């Protein structure tokens, strides 16, 4: 697998390594984004020790850590605790260069013993800060990493010399993975994988049927990974799946989710908080709402989980018994599924098309607009609609948009309005509506902008 779109992160790690002083780096981000791959790529030509934590008692983990280090550096260690361990390794091993010491999935230890954070504060302050060492703690439980390691109330607050939040790759990474694919095929793949490198590297073809026959084989990692991810992190796996399924089927408010998942309303927030922390769920607010307004809904964060919940979870028997027949049914339903995927794709493409200070969804009661982009400085507002359809009549779409736009409360007296319609292709385009600009983008238009990677005004 190539290291795609992680050069900035790699450069930052290299700068820290070459700083001439001890470094304490925290690397975090949801699972499958390539954190481990990034770190292993960075350490491969350096004197290093890499350790993948497990969800076991710290006593067992410490012995495993000590044994693995002893074997790698051919040294006998007598240490009975972390303080003795770090003292001893620098006494007994002559490192020629800066030692890069990596503990991956550090939150597993935090789950087992919250005191480990204070332990590492002491280790850093008293033992490591003066050594020729680069300590890297890696974690996938994002909220825990942000709160327990980086937060103001954390014992380690202010100790890390830098931190890297590894996020989903930008859309341009799709063209780097698949430089010969047209935009239609890239968007269809996006519906299966999002921009998550772990899933992108599983794609072999631009043909949807070929990909599905391979990925949905019950022995394939793609088929199993959603369950693997959840089972590694939570105990009550079935409850979390039911909550995710409820959200994916359109239940977006707490009471709706609790009823659909058959969870007591008094407990639902506990589960939601975990899924938010894992970045599998996210909160979405209307783009025009203020920071103080508590108007939001819940959404499944990435397209892999959206696809898996819709086409895999409920159909395991069908897939195992009649894979080809099930794949045919998915292909027939795929355009309908792609509606929300294309909306997300267009929203992420917006920075290449327009200057704006804020972008997002808007809704009020029974009215909803796919994309609303705001330019606060110029009081400009753009209303966008996304249709994963061919031969779209832009005039009809814009008339409906304009009617919904009249309900959007944002600088009503002085704002300058425009509209955008995104579609596979158009039967009828439009340049203006009631004197207001209209922008029509089909797949050919988007492909030119997308692959050129140049921002338009």
Cβ atoms of 301 and 278 closer than 8 Å: no
How far is Cα of residue 386 from the mean position of the Cα atoms in its chain?
A: 22
Per-domain residue ranges of the chain: 7-165, 172-338, 353-452
> Residue 131: phi, psi to the nearest 5?
-95, 165
85: which residues sit within 8 A by CB, 6+ positions away? 62, 65, 66, 69, 77, 79
429: which residues sit within 8 A by CB, 6+ positions away? 394, 440
Q: Nearest-5° angle of CA 13, CA 152, CA 150?
A: 25
Structure tokens at 415: 């704002």
pLDDT for 123 beyond 70: yes
Grade residue 453 by pLDDT with cuts at 50, 70 and 90.
low
How far is Cα of residue 203 from the mean position of the Cα atoms in its chain?
A: 18
Grade residue 382 by pLDDT with cuts at 50, 70 and 90.
very high
The pLDDT tens digits of the residues spanning 291-333 come to 788 889 999 999 999 999 999 999 999 999 999 999 999 999 9
**SS3 of 432, please?**
strand
How far apart CA 319 and CA 213 sit, in angstroms, is 10
pLDDT of residue 7: 84
- CATH number listed for the domain at residues 7-165: 3.40.50.300
> The pTM is what?
0.89
The pLDDT tens digits of the residues spanning 158-195 come to 999 999 999 888 898 898 899 999 999 999 999 999 99
Strands of 205-249 (E only): list them: none
How far apart CA 2 and CA 418 sit, in angstroms, is 41
- CATH number listed for the domain at residues 172-338: 1.10.10
């Amino acid at each position: 697998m190539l290291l795609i779109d992680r050069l900035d992160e790699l450069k930052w790690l290299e700068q820290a390594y070459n700083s001439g002083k001890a470094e304490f780096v925290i690397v975090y981000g949801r699972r499958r984004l390539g954190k481990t791959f990034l770190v292993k790529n960075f350490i491969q030509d350096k004197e290093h020790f890499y350790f993948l934590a497990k969800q076991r008692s710290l006593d067992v983990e410490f012995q495993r850590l000590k044994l693995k280090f002893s074997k790698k550096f051919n040294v006998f260690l007598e240490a009975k605790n972390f303080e003795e361990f770090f003292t001893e390794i620098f006494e007994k091993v002559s490192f020629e260069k800066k030692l890069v010491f990596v503990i991956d999935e550090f939150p597993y230890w935090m789950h087992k013993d919250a005191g480990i954070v204070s332990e590492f504060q002491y280790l850093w302050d008293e033992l490591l800060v003066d050594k020729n060492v680069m300590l890297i703690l890696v974690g996938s439980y994002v909220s825990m990493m942000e709160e327990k390691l980086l937060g103001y109330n954390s014992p380690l607050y202010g100790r890390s010399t830098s931190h890297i939040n590894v996020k989903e790759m930008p859309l341009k990474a799709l063209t780097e993975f698949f430089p010969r694919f047209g935009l239609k095929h890239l968007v269809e793949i996006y519906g299966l994988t999002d921009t998550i490198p772990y899933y992108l590297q599983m794609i072999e073809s631009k043909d949807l049927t070929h990909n599905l026959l391979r990925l949905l084989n019950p022995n394939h990692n793609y088929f199993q990974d959603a369950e693997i991810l959840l089972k590694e992190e939570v105990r009550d796996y079935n409850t979390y799946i039911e909550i995710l399924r409820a959200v994916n089927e359109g239940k977006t408010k707490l009471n709706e989710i609790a009823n659909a998942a058959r969870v007591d309303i008094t407990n639902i927030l506990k589960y939601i908080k975990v899924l938010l922390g894992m970045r599998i769920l996210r909160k979405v607010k209307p783009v025009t709402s203020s920071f103080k307004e508590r108007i939001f809904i819940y959404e499944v964060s990435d397209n892999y989980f959206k696809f898996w919940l819709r086409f895999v979870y409920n159909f395991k028997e069908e897939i195992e018994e009649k894979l080809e027949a099930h794949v045919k049914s998915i292909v027939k339903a795929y355009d309908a599924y792609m509606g929300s995927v294309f909306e997300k794709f267009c929203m992420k493409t917006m920075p290449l098309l327009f200057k704006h200070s804020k972008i997002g969804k808007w809704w009020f009661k029974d009215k909803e607009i796919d994309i609303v982009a705001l330019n606060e400085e110029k009081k400009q507002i753009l209303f966008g609609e996304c249709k994963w359809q061919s031969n779209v009549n832009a005039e009809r779409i814009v008339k409906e948009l304009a009617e919904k736009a009249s309900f959007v409360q944002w600088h009503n007296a002085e704002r300058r309005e425009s509209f955008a319609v995104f579609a596979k292709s158009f039967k009828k385009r439009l340049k203006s509506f009631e004197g207001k600009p209209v922008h029509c983008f089909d797949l050919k238009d988007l492909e030119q902008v997308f692959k050129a990677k140049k921002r338009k005004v």
